[in-house]
Amino acid sequence: MKKVELLNLKGEKVKDINLNEEIFGITPNNNVLNDAIILSMASLRQGTHSTKNRSEVSGGGRKPWRQKGTGRARQGSIRAVQWVGGGRYGTPVPRDYSKKQNRKERQLALRSALSEKVANKELIVLENLEVKTPKTKEVLSILEALKVADKKVLLVVKEFDDNLILASRNIQNIVLILADEINVLDIVGTDVMVITEDAMKYVEEVLK
């Protein structure tokens, strides 16, 4: 049975708690994990890039000069790709970058990312994460107590608190999300994952 320390906001150990080994103790599947990362990054691309080809630009309805006898290269339209103001060739067009991954693979990728955090000792479980005032220094003091102030931190909570949102939004190295929004990209993209005890129980309930 895997165990992890449950800490308070001062970074002091409260007790040891058990982790579900089927979620936090599996051998990471790197192929599925990589696919999930690519899928997540691809979903962030809008795909709205667009250029006009020669059939879409205006003008060029007639031949600019006769075919022979002018001494110049033959041309059919002033909107061909070699002309200034002409159409474009081989440039981006609107497209959908999204990829697909089935539900079992998505869950396996999430379990793999979480297990990797535990194996690398990059998971911190907090008794709670109550912030009394909406001041940045209060969250910074918590990070310093946990010895992660100089790292990129993923904060996972069961429910948002107004004070916590206001106190953490100006700290660049913090990503604050809800337990039901947990995803592979945020987990692997941060150095340390700090999760509250009730949020961890929610994640275990969903992924079991």
Report how far residue 194's alpha carbon sits from residue 26's, in angstroms, rounded to the nearest whole number.
Answer: 20
Confidence label for 3 from pLDDT (cuts 50, 70 and 90): confident
Confidence label for 180 from pLDDT (cuts 50, 70 and 90): very high
Q: Is residue 17 a contact partner of residue 197, using CB atoms and an 8 Å limit? A: yes
**What count of Cα atoms within 13 Å lies in the side-chain half-sphere of residue 162?**
1
What token pair was written down for 177? 């999300």
Q: Is the pLDDT of residue 1 over 80?
A: no
Q: Is the pLDDT of residue 119 over 80?
A: yes
Report how far residue 36's alpha carbon sits from residue 46's, in angstroms, rounded to the nearest whole number.
Answer: 18
What token pair was written down for 68? 């022979």
pLDDT tens-digit series, residues 57-96: 998 889 999 999 999 999 999 999 999 999 999 888 899 9
pLDDT recorded at residue 208: 82
pLDDT recorded at residue 201: 92
Q: Is the pLDDT of residue 123 over 90?
A: yes
Whether the model clears a pTM of 0.75, i.e. scores above it, the answer is yes
pLDDT recorded at residue 31: 95
Q: Is residue 110 a contact partner of residue 31, using CB atoms and an 8 Å limit? A: no
CATH, domain range 2-44+101-207: 3.40.1370.10
The mean per-residue pLDDT over the stretch 149-170 comes to 93
The residue with tokens 């061909």 is 80
Average of per-residue pLDDT values in the chain: 92
* DSSP element (H, E) containing 3: strand 2-7
For 4, 128, 157, 159, 160, the CA distances from 181, given in Å and listed in that order, are 23, 18, 10, 11, 12
Enumerate the domain spans of the chain: 2-44+101-207, 46-96
